[in-house]
Amino acid sequence: MSENILEVRNLTKNFPGVVALDNINLDIKKGVTHCIVGENGAGKSTFIKIITGALSKTEGSIIYSGQEYNPRSISEAMKNGMSTLYQELNVVEQLTVEQNLNLGKEKHILSFMKKSEQDLKAIEILKAIEPRIDIKQLVANLSTAQRQILEIARAIATDAKVIIMDEPTAAITEEETKKLFKVIENLKEKNVTIIYISHRLSDIFEIGDYVSVFRDGKLIATKAISEISSSLELVKMMIGKIVTESYIPNEVNYNKKVLQVKELNDTKLKDISFDLFEGEIIGFYGLVGAGKTEIAKAIYGLRDSKGAIIIGDRTRKINTPEKAIKSGIAMVPEERRTEGLFTELTVRDNIPVMNMQKVSRFGIRSKRKEALIARDFIKKLKIVTPSEEKKVALLSGGNQQKVVIAKCLNAESRILLLDEPTRGVDVGAKEEIHNLIRNLAKQKVSVIIFSSELQEILILCDRIFTMFNGSLKAVFKNGTEDISYKILHTALVGES
Amino acid sequence: MSSKNVNTELKTRKLNETLLQNLVTLGILVLISVIITALIPRFLTYTNINNVLLQISLIIIVGSGITLLMISGNFDLSVGGVLALAGVLFAFLSRAGVPTFFALILSVIFGSLMGALNGTLVVNLKISPIIVTLGTMYITRGLALIFANGSMISSGLPGDFRKLSNTYFGPMSLVIMIVIAVVIIFIFIQSKTNLGQYAFFIGSNRETARLSGINIGRTVSILYILVGTLAGLSGVILASKLGTGDSSVGDGFEFDVIVAAVIGGTSVAGGKGSISGMVLGAMILGVLNNSLNLLGVASYYQLVIKGLVLIGAIVLQRYIVEKFS
């Protein structure tokens, strides 16, 4: 059999308080497509960062092309033939394709005057892969897929032996994906090794030779794709055993629909329809880019979508967050620092913002009322802060998230949209937030959770909707049987 | 906890940053004044101080609005042009026989309309505030020249044209009273009203403000209208004081106003600032101008010194505030 290009032995990476990678042993063969899969936080990115020199390892050894390998920087890894195609492509839009190909390789200050052999090689390679790209045009005019091909050509020209691709198909069309796959096939013929990271299991079955599954910092298994019978098998390896014991059904009033969404359509969403009952918690689960956030934004008046939103029994035209809040909807946005908080202002300034009427009369504020409300929420939500006059920027992530939630609760909405409500929050605060959400449901508030964390959805939600590529794929009723694999399968593959 | 308790605690904490900032600005002001008084004792006379106050009165009036506008992350470069145009319009209407009081009101309202125009262009057409107000700066300056026939309207004005600027109540001029009233009203808006708080929200994070249901367009428009109104008011005060509608006045005024706000701790990026600080900033500007004149420094050198003092003041402030807060 062919030799190994990469042999990883007992690789461990510790971060303060966390073992990100735990004793990884992995061989990657030369000239194959080796896929790496795992949930968010499984350790894939840490692994890639170590072999590309972006992070240093704590323990273990890496043998690359038969030699001990310890890159101290990304550029050192690149010099050794280890190239990475990041999700955020590393091209300069204002330069032409040709200039981009030669970028960073000018050996001499005047070398751009005369093309080196390597530059010509890069252009040759690019033409061989995709003759339709005009090398004189600006990169700004290229599609994402074309830019990827440009980066691949650059990598091959530097004699890359290993090309790492991180979610390369996340932002490109199906047709472009096919072209990329053809390029990958060609690379393999040239004995280049591809390390392919993706959430899309269909991609993996199409072009992968081997697959390694990561979970909780451990390598669960490495198998040849031909040995794997179905995507469900892969899913099971990815998530292991799921604990669903802590799901407690909420007291849902099935006689009262508080929200009906009918045939929501826009550039991303396709025919989204669902109902929400009083006191119910429902969850939307799907990969990054599946359209969860878009549903939240569409309901909250942030997207130009077609379709009907019926609150109670009245159809509402919601085209701004202002109207959404007036209709009784509040949203905890995905990015708390940039969308949820005024980090430079105090806790007292932040909490009343969605409902200023409560702290003002005829447009005149009462700072006393603001302080009382803020203190009330600090106590109720156990926000850890020395006082309500503390700048929000100085609080921890979990406490910042509680401030965002307090803002929404202060709006006294009947419907809460929570987009990734516990992302980047420590375990203790996470549990507190989960209990808080359950208590809200008890008070007849209806909640929609949009999360890429299956565990969170499974312990809180009465019904779970899976999303794939902008459409709803399935609805599951929680608590009846073990639905975790089915949910994950529909979300990853797009069919049940 | 009792509400009284909440209140006192609130006050002690709130003082921190703004107070420190203002203390530093005040310190710089006192420092400059002490040096000047040592050099020229005449500086500290009633007449001279009054003179300084009159010179900076227009900066303080317009600065009150500009500070709020800048807190919201916006800008207005057209205030100098609007000031000139409102003054010329005031003279134009008065000469045409419109009763002085009505001419005055109409000219101020015209300022409001220019503010509304700025607001509409910034909000609805989503053009950068600097570009929009640079455009309206040219337009207003041009219109002022057109109305004033290229220079000024000085003849044929009614007898009460100067009344606004030479009315006194005891030792206090009406203009100074207007300045004080404007400052009080705007400090109230800044710290006690939703409008003021919305300006802080929008300036510190526009996206969060939008997602929190704040009507950004309406808020920003109102702020532009307030600034335009104040610029119009300043224009009629100046015209009344000069006794003419002069199309060339207020050249560089927009920068004086912004500089006063910035020295007073207002951030060009938005989210931070105070009107009280701006008043102190305007005083530093006024004292500096006045003392350089008293010292008989040639005007070319004055510009250089002014520039140095301004940069120095801001560097010193930042150093002290960062060190102690």
The sign one gets for the Cα dihedral A295, A297, A300, A301 is negative
3-state secondary structure of B142: helix
Q: In A104-192, where do the E strands start and end?
A: 162-166
pLDDT tier at A157, thresholds 50, 70, 90: confident
Q: Identify the CA nearest to A211 among candidates A465, A199, B230.
A: A199
Q: Which residues pair with A8 in a beta bridge?
A: A26, A62
In this predicted structure, the answer to whether residue B43 has a pLDDT above a threshold of 60 is yes
Which pLDDT score is estimated for B8? Answer: 47
DSSP state, residue A346: B
In this predicted structure, the answer to whether residue B10 has a pLDDT above a threshold of 50 is no
In this predicted structure, the answer to whether residue A495 has a pLDDT above a threshold of 80 is no
Collect all residues of chain A within an 8 Å Cβ-Cβ radius of residue B194: 356, 360, 363-365
Q: Give the contacts of A290 (CB within 8 A, at least 6 positions apart).
A: A467, A468, A469, A470, A491
pLDDT tier at A1, thresholds 50, 70, 90: very low
Q: Which of A143-152, A438-447, B1-10 has the highest mean pLDDT?
A: A438-447
Q: What is the average per-residue pLDDT within A115-122? A: 68
Would you call B200 and A339 a contact, using CB atoms and an 8 Å cutoff? Answer: no
3-state secondary structure of B16: helix
Q: What is the average per-residue pLDDT within A188-201? A: 87
Q: In chain B, where do the E strands start and end?
A: 152-153, 168-169, 172-173, 245-246
Counting Cα atoms < 13 Å in the Cβ hemisphere of A325 gives 23
Identify whether the C-beta of residue A461 lies closer than 8 Å to the C-beta of residue A281: yes
Least confident of A66-75, A289-298, A301-310, B79-88: A66-75
Q: Which of A16-30, A143-157, A306-320, B5-19 has the highest mean pLDDT?
A: A306-320
Alpha carbon distance A433, A421 (integer Å): 8
3-state secondary structure of B30: helix
In this predicted structure, the answer to whether residue B106 has a pLDDT above a threshold of 70 is yes
3-state secondary structure of A70: coil
In this predicted structure, the answer to whether residue B7 has a pLDDT above a threshold of 70 is no
Q: Which of B194, B202, B212, B216 has the highest number of chain A CBs within 10 A, making it the mutation to test binding with A?
A: B212
CA A205 to chain B, closest CA, distance in angstroms equals 41
Choice between B54 and A342, residue whose per-residue pLDDT is larger: A342
In this predicted structure, the answer to whether residue B117 has a pLDDT above a threshold of 60 is yes
Q: What is the average per-residue pLDDT within B306-314? A: 84
Choice between B47 and B106, residue whose per-residue pLDDT is larger: B106
- Phi/psi zone of residue B215: left (φ > 0), alpha (ψ -120 to 50 degrees), beta? beta
Whole-model pTM: value is 0.78
pLDDT tier at A4, thresholds 50, 70, 90: confident
Per-residue model confidence as pLDDT tens digits over B165-192: 888 888 888 999 999 999 999 999 999 9
Least confident of A169-173, B25-29, B95-99, B270-274: A169-173
Tokens for A415? Answer: 């419907």
Which pLDDT score is estimated for A87? Answer: 63
Which pLDDT score is estimated for A277? Answer: 94
pLDDT tier at A54, thresholds 50, 70, 90: confident
Amino acid at A221: A
Would you call A343 and B215 a contact, using CB atoms and an 8 Å cutoff? Answer: no
Alpha carbon distance A100, A96 (integer Å): 6
In this predicted structure, the answer to whether residue B282 has a pLDDT above a threshold of 60 is yes
Would you call B194 and A360 a contact, using CB atoms and an 8 Å cutoff? Answer: yes
Q: Identify the CA nearest to A40 among candidates A230, A287, A208.
A: A287
Which pLDDT score is estimated for A115? Answer: 59
Choice between A426 and A303, residue whose per-residue pLDDT is larger: A303
ipTM of the complex: 0.83
Alpha carbon distance B88, B246 (integer Å): 6
CA A359 to chain B, closest CA, distance in angstroms equals 9
Q: Which residues pair with A28 in a beta bridge?
A: A6
C-alpha separations of A115 from A78, A81, A92, A124, A471 in Å: 21, 22, 19, 13, 49
Would you call B208 and A338 a contact, using CB atoms and an 8 Å cutoff? Answer: yes
Which pLDDT score is estimated for A107? Answer: 52
Per-residue model confidence as pLDDT tens digits over A368-379: 999 999 999 999
DSSP string for A437-482: HHHHHHTT-EEEEEES-HHHHHHH-SEEEEEETTEEEEEEETTSS-
Q: Which of A326, A345, A376, A416 has the highest number of chain B CBs within 10 A, making it the mutation to test binding with B?
A: A345
Alpha carbon distance A243, A355 (integer Å): 39
Collect all residues of chain B within an 8 Å Cβ-Cβ radius of residue A364: 192-194
* Of residues A333, A363, A375, nearest to B194 (C-beta): A363
Would you call B6 and A371 a contact, using CB atoms and an 8 Å cutoff? Answer: yes
The H or E element spanning position A20 is strand A18-29
Which pLDDT score is estimated for B22? Answer: 86
Per-residue model confidence as pLDDT tens digits over B212-263: 999 999 999 999 999 999 999 999 999 999 999 999 998 889 999 999 999 8
In this predicted structure, the answer to whether residue B143 has a pLDDT above a threshold of 60 is yes
Alpha carbon distance A298, A309 (integer Å): 10
Which pLDDT score is estimated for B307? Answer: 87
Tokens for B41? Answer: 């004792």
The H or E element spanning position A354 is none
Would you call B9 and A387 a contact, using CB atoms and an 8 Å cutoff? Answer: yes
Identify whether the C-beta of residue B81 lies closer than 8 Å to the C-beta of residue B144: yes
Which pLDDT score is estimated for A241? Answer: 64
Tokens for A393? Answer: 């920027």
In this predicted structure, the answer to whether residue A189 has a pLDDT above a threshold of 80 is yes
